Amino acid sequence: YALNRKVDRLDDALVARQKALDAQTAETRTKTEQALASAHQVDTQLAQLDGKLADAQNAQQALQQQYQDLSRNRDAWMLEEVDQMLSSASQQLQLTGNTQLALIALQNADARLATSQSAQAVTVRKALAQDIEKLKAAPSADLTGLAIKLDDAIGKIDALPLAGEAIVPHAAPKAVEPTAASAAVAAGEPRWKVWWHDFSAGLGQQLKGLVQVRRIDNADAMLASPDQGYFVRENVKLRLLTARLSLLARNESAMKADLHAAQASLGKYFDQASKDTQTVEDLLKQVDGASLTVAVPNLNTSLNAVQQFKSRG
């Protein structure tokens, strides 16, 4: 009996221990399943993070590519803008020979390129520096001084006397010499004869001052009425104004043609003995004798540098 009881107790202990082991096993299995579920969830989250990281890397690469494309496009736009500025400056330089305007255009192009640090911009700026130095060293005609001479001449035209209306100062009447009157009195002449002698001499002198005989070789000048004289003056001024415009445009042939026409009108219709006329003619001769032809440099160095980079794409 005691043995049976001991066996029963052992069985009960074994059953209890088995139950405890089963409970621990179940708990362990549950925790294992939970750990596996957590690990699976972590794996899922890691996979999602990997996907997001890949998306972020792709987005970063796309942004870098866009930035590079934008930089290239910006440089391309800038080179295109500079090319247009240089082409326009080159055309104006060859047509008008105005080196100052071309110099300003090149300096503006250089300032535009200074905003970029690309190798293309640096190379083009070096070429621009060479052309800028050539423009600074280029000779230039004194267009401003010549234009001022023409302005002075234009301002004097209205005051110039025409050949048929030249003003000649009247001679002041001369009094009878005291010696002649004294001689008449000393000779015993009556006083009325002495008075009459003085009066007739003074009147004759005044009549001489009223009438002047002058020779005018140009018949057209004599036929010009006051109204026609107005149009003659306006025509000369118009010629000189046109010559001034041609001067500023460096069109030497057109300028000289208008100057010669104005000089011909001055010689034909205006009083050549007048100092004002001579002054105007002298001003026109000075302008006519000036040369507008100067050696104009080109901008090929800068243009070629821009074209080389544009051709590379």
In whole angstroms, give the CA distance from residue 196 to residue 239.
58
pLDDT of 222: 47
Structure tokens belonging to residue 34: 């939970």
Closest CA to 112 of 70, 84, 72: 84
pLDDT, tens digit only, all 313 positions of the chain: 666 777 777 777 788 888 888 888 888 888 888 888 888 888 888 888 888 888 888 888 877 776 666 666 777 888 888 999 999 999 888 877 778 888 999 999 999 899 888 888 899 999 999 999 999 888 777 788 899 999 999 999 999 998 866 444 444 444 444 555 555 555 566 666 666 666 667 655 655 554 444 554 554 544 455 567 889 999 999 999 999 999 888 788 999 999 999 999 999 999 999 999 999 999 999 999 887 766 778 899 999 998 888 777 5
pLDDT of 213: 47
Burial readout 29-46 (b: 16 or more C-beta within 10 A, e: otherwise): eeeeeeeeeeeeeeeeee
Q: Please say whether the beta carbons of 233 and 160 come within 8 A.
A: yes
CB within 8 Å of 208: residues ≥ 6 apart: 171
Dihedral sign computed on CA atoms, order 166, 172, 177, 180: positive
Q: Please say whether the beta carbons of 197 and 181 come within 8 A.
A: yes
Q: Please say whether the beta carbons of 265 and 235 come within 8 A.
A: yes
Q: Please say whether the beta carbons of 232 and 265 come within 8 A.
A: yes
In whole angstroms, give the CA distance from residue 26 to residue 56.
44
pLDDT of 94: 80
In whole angstroms, give the CA distance from residue 297 to residue 138.
7
Structure tokens belonging to residue 82: 């500079």
In whole angstroms, give the CA distance from residue 88 to residue 299.
11
pLDDT of 239: 95
pLDDT of 107: 94
DSSP output for 254-301: HHHHHHHHHHHHHHHHB-TT-HHHHHHHHHHHHHHH----------HH
Q: Please say whether the beta carbons of 290 and 156 come within 8 A.
A: no
